[in-house]
């Protein structure tokens, strides 16, 4: 991320970069639909869907997710990427996002 932002700042004049924070990934474990997205997630991101609840692997993944969010926020809070003709803005609205749920606390089928 840093390298990409450095390149844009040095090579592209008059630019505002809008970065959307990643969402907490833990809730994605609950998404179980017969869709291509869910199948791809199971196949290519097994680190999220395979670990048992409360396992060391899952806790580590959740911590990495949180740390990525935190480090991105700290990087963009610094003045490194602000010049007269360049700025980077972090949109934090996904940072604490939880999927929509039915009254029985299960995920809505539309998620």
Q: For residue range 1-23, what is the model confidence (pLDDT) as tens digits?
A: 899 999 999 999 899 999 999 88
Q: What is the separation, in whole angstroms, between the first and last Cα of the chain? A: 28
Instruction: State the residue range of the domain holding 17.
Output: 2-91
Query: Does the residue 101 lie in any domain?
Result: no
Q: Which residues pair with 107 in a beta bridge?
A: 101
User: Under a CB-based contact definition with an 8 Å cutoff, are residues 27 and 98 in contact?
Assistant: yes
Domain count, the chain: 1
Query: Does the residue 51 lie in any domain?
Result: yes
In angstroms, rounded to a whole number, what is the distance separating the alpha carbons of residues 8 and 81?
10
Res 55 pLDDT > 80? yes
86: enclosing H helix or E strand: strand 86-91
Q: Cα separations (Å) of 94 from 2, 91, 106?
A: 21, 8, 20
Query: Does the residue 103 lie in any domain?
Result: no
What mean pLDDT comes out for the span 95-105? 72
What mean pLDDT comes out for the span 76-103? 84
Q: What is the pTM of this model?
A: 0.71
Res 111 pLDDT > 60? no
R_g (Cα) of the chain, nearest Å:
18
């Amino acid at each position: 991320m840093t390298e990409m932002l450095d390149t844009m700042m040095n090579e592209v004049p008059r630019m505002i970069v809008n970065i959307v924070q990643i969402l907490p990934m833990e809730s994605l474990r609950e998404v179980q639909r017969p869709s291509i997205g869910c199948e791809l997630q199971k196949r290519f991101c097994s680190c999220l869907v395979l670990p048992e609840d409360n396992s060391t692997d899952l806790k580590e993944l959740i911590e990495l997710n949180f740390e990525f969010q935190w480090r991105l926020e700290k990087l963009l809070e610094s003045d490194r990427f602000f010049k007269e003709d360049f700025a980077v803005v972090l949109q934090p609205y996904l940072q604490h996002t939880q999927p929509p749920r039915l009254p029985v606390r299960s995920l809505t089928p539309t998620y």
